[in-house]
């Protein structure tokens, strides 16, 4: 499979980010908690250097709780402020105001020394498509906040949402592009539905999921489809097709339909809360991929170098 992101879109997204980032003090970087490494574009480190940073593991409700904690710890160790959130129902939002304050403490202190008091922190949300940026802004900003409108001179054409006395949020999120140099990254983003899967790819993605779940979340397929997980991935796929009545006219399994079903079930959490990758120190201990010798499971290098200005001290 070959995943694409049109260069034109990428250039435009980068230009917009570069423009908007000049206006703000804090980048709120959204990652998908199921794939924190693959949903992260490290270009943000360059784009957002000299800005305060906050990392949110969004869609934490769909990801494995234990692995959420592992990832959160991993980012903390690298000097990031981080929180797990579910933007759809608002879980985890309460702590964010406090984290924003913490992230911007240095800046507030600098302002204070220069005699600038009460200048609100300006923040923007950034992340790759579908990571939940708009949902987050809507939930976080809520109904209580008024849009502040254009600010002549400084923020021409930009809308700011005043969250409280201290924080203003740019109402248009920064769009980062997925990184495609690594096909395993593209594949995982396609699995979670973050980049579009062409019909032709559905079967391949479904097989990847089966291979992955059987290795790392044994029992989830059995629980969902009432089938035994014994046999090869293809056997299991056939059993799912049969159990769910995905059959062609002649009674042959309809793989395309079964693949769509498996993909939908994974993406919506009906196959359990799953996280598709672990940070490097944990990934090294996983046998997934080696034991089955299948393409689905390699834990590629999920090393992330850091994300806040404090990182300089901690940088490995
Ligand atoms: P974007 O701006 O980054 O492109 O993402 P957007 O907010 O449009 O969210 C993409 C999809 O992810 C939406 O689902 C949204 O509801 C869902 N989503 C966002 N945050 C969370 C979360 O924390 N948990 C869960 N479970 N889902 C989340 P959709 O199916 O495309 O739209 P809809 O059916 O929800 O309207």
CATH number at residue 107: 3.40.50.300
Residue 267 beta carbon below 6 angstroms from any ligand 1 atom: no
Helix axes 255-268, 202-216, angle to 10 degrees: 50
Q: Looking at the structure, tell me whether residues 93 and 155 fall in a common domain.
A: yes
Looking only at the bridges linking them, the beta strands covering 167-170 and 160-162 are antiparallel
Specify if 291 maps to a domain.
no
Q: Looking at the structure, tell me whether residues 91 and 38 fall in a common domain.
A: yes
Residue 67 beta carbon below 6 angstroms from any ligand 1 atom: no
Contact between 224 and 243 (Cβ < 8 Å): no
Residue 290: predicted pLDDT: 39
Residue 251: predicted pLDDT: 85
Specify if 292 maps to a domain.
no
Question: What are the phi and psi torsion angles at 21 (to 5°)?
Answer: -65, -20
Tokens at residue 38, please?
């693959």
pLDDT more than 90, % of the chain: 61
Specify if 290 maps to a domain.
no
Q: Looking at the structure, tell me whether residues 146 and 219 fall in a common domain.
A: no
Q: Looking at the structure, tell me whether residues 35 and 80 fall in a common domain.
A: yes
Q: Looking at the structure, tell me whether residues 58 and 155 fall in a common domain.
A: yes
- For the chain, what is the domain count? 2
Q: What is the pLDDT of residues 68-116, one digit of tens each?
A: 999 999 999 988 999 999 999 999 998 999 999 999 998 889 989 999 8
Residue 295 scores a pLDDT above 50: no
Q: Looking at the structure, tell me whether residues 61 and 165 fall in a common domain.
A: yes
Q: Looking at the structure, tell me whether residues 19 and 142 fall in a common domain.
A: yes
pTM of the prediction?
Answer: 0.87
Can you give the length of the chain in residues? 316
Mutate to test the pocket of ligand 1, among 28, 132, 194, 266 (most ligand atoms within 8 A of CB): 132
Q: Which residue minimizes the CA distance to atom 26 of ligand 1?
A: 59
Question: What are the phi and psi torsion angles at 12 (to 5°)?
Answer: -65, -45
Contact between 121 and 159 (Cβ < 8 Å): no
How much is the average pLDDT of 117-134?
93
Q: Looking at the structure, tell me whether residues 17 and 136 fall in a common domain.
A: yes
User: In Å, how far are 26, 37, 84, 212, 220 from 81, measured between CA atoms?
Assistant: 12, 16, 11, 30, 32
Specify if 284 maps to a domain.
no
Tell me the pLDDT band of 142, cut-offs 50, 70 and 90.
confident
Residues 6+ apart with CB under 8 A from 94: none
Residue 299: predicted pLDDT: 47
Residue 143 scores a pLDDT above 80: no
Which CATH number goes with the domain that contains 259?
A: 1.10.1580.10
Q: Looking at the structure, tell me whether residues 172 and 197 fall in a common domain.
A: no
Centroid of ligand 1 to alpha carbon of 98 (angstroms): 24
Q: Looking at the structure, tell me whether residues 225 and 111 fall in a common domain.
A: no
Centroid of ligand 1 to alpha carbon of 132 (angstroms): 5
Q: Looking at the structure, tell me whether residues 134 and 269 fall in a common domain.
A: no
Mutate to test the pocket of ligand 1, among 9, 39, 90, 130 (most ligand atoms within 8 A of CB): 130
Q: What is the pLDDT of residues 173-207, one digit of tens each?
A: 999 988 877 888 988 999 999 887 665 589 999 99
Range in 141-155, 158-172, 241-255 the model is least confident about: 141-155
Dist CA 9 CA 4 (whole Å): 11
Specify if 56 maps to a domain.
yes
Instruction: For residue 130, give its domain range.
Output: 8-180+297-314
**Alpha helices per DSSP H over 217-295:** 220-225, 233-243, 255-268, 280-283
Centroid of ligand 1 to alpha carbon of 253 (angstroms): 32
Q: Looking at the structure, tell me whether residues 139 and 116 fall in a common domain.
A: yes
Specify if 283 maps to a domain.
no
Contact between 36 and 277 (Cβ < 8 Å): yes
Rg (CA), the chain: 21
pLDDT more than 70, % of the chain: 81
Residue 245: predicted pLDDT: 95
| Mean predicted lDDT score pLDDT of the chain | 84
Specify if 185 maps to a domain.
no
Residues paired with residue 247 on neighbouring β-strands, in sequence order: 253
Ramachandran sector of residue 309 (left: φ over 0; alpha: ψ -120 to 50; beta: rest): alpha
């Amino acid at each position: 499979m070959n995943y694409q992101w049109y260069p034109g879109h990428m250039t435009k997204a980068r230009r917009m980010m570069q423009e908007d980032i000049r206006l703000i003090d804090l980048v709120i970087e959204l990652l998908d908690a199921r794939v924190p490494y693959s949903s992260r574009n490290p270009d943000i480190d360059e784009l957002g250097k000299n800005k305060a940073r906050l990392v949110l593991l969004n869609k934490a409700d769909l990801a494995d709780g234990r692995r959420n904690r592992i990832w959160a710890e991993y980012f903390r160790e690298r000097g990031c402020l981080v929180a797990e959130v579910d933007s759809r129902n608002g879980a985890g939002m309460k702590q964010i105001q406090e984290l924003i304050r913490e992230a911007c403490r240095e800046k507030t202190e600098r302002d204070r020394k220069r005699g600038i008091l009460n200048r609100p922190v300006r923040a923007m949300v950034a992340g790759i498509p579908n990571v939940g940026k708009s949902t987050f802004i809507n939930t976080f900003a809520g109904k209580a906040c008024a849009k502040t409108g254009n600010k002549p001179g400084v923020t021409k054409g930009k809308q700011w949402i005043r969250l409280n006395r201290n924080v203003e949020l740019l109402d248009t999120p920064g769009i980062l592009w997925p990184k495609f140099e690594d096909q395993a990254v593209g594949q995982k983003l396609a699995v979670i539905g973050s980049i579009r899967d062409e019909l032709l790819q559905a079967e391949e993605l479904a097989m990847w999921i089966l291979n992955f779940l059987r290795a790392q979340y044994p029992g989830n397929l059995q629980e969902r489809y009432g089938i035994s997980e014994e046999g090869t991935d293809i056997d299991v796929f056939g059993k799912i097709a049969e159990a769910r009545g995905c059959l062609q006219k002649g009674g042959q399994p309809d793989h395309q339909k079964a693949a769509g079903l498996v993909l939908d079930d994974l993406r919506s959490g009906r196959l359990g809360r799953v996280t598709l990758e672990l940070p490097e120190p944990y990934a090294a201990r996983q046998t997934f991929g080696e034991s089955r010798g299948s393409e689905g499971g390699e834990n590629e290098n999920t090393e992330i170098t850091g994300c806040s200005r404090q990182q300089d001290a901690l940088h490995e």
